[in-house]
């Protein structure tokens, strides 16, 4: 064991300092998130449950009203079904939502895409809430990947972007 000399750490103090520093950096990362992430995260998770449960009408309610009315809702229904099928492919018979892990370090505001600006000219901000997953498929192979909810703000309301999490 090293002796305490001046302001230097002894060897036994180093693990304590490292764990304190790590705990502080994790807490800082959590508090550095935009407040909108924490506010919209439950909504994103509800959307993922609706996708799992194949509640197409509930999924469509999360879209912008213009998207809900586009071609009498056919396009919104198409995107909802596309996401349901994507969930089934990724889940491969496993309860995928049990394996989702929130990724605060990669969640936050995004640049607005040209497509989004064109479709929704009054949109102000875009927010991404990211998740990752890793699980063992029924055939024994591991599947790793991610899912994300992308929402945009227009006139104080948040709507899901056309491309849903899965």
Side-chain half-sphere exposure of 57, counting CA atoms within 13 A: 0
Taking alpha carbons only, the member of 99, 86, 95 closest to residue 132 is 99
CA distance between the termini of the chain: 53
Cα–Cα distance for residue pair 163/85, rounded to 1 Å:
13
pLDDT at 18: 46
The list of the chain residues with pLDDT below 50 reads 1-5, 9-29
Identify each DSSP E strand in 37-156 by its residue range: 101-102, 108-110, 123-136, 142-154
Taking alpha carbons only, the member of 166, 72, 80, 69 closest to residue 119 is 69
């Amino acid at each position: 064991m090293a002796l305490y000399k001046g302001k230097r750490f002894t060897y036994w103090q180093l693990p304590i300092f490292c764990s304190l520093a790590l705990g502080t950096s994790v807490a800082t990362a959590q508090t550095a998130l935009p407040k909108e992430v924490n506010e919209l995260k439950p909504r994103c998770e509800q959307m993922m449950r609706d996708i799992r449960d194949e509640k197409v009408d509930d999924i469509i309610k999360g879209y912008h009203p213009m998207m809900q009315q586009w071609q009498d809702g056919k396009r919104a229904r198409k995107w909802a079904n596309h996401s349901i099928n994507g969930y089934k492919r990724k889940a491969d018979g496993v309860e995928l939502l049990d394996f989702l892990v929130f990724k605060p370090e990669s969640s936050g505001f995004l640049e607005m895409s040209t497509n989004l600006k064109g479709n929704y000219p009054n949109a102000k901000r875009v927010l991404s809430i990211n998740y990752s997953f890793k699980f063992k498929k029924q055939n024994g192979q591991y599947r790793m990947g991610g899912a994300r909810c992308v929402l945009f703000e227009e006139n104080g309301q948040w709507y899901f972007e056309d491309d849903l999490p899965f």
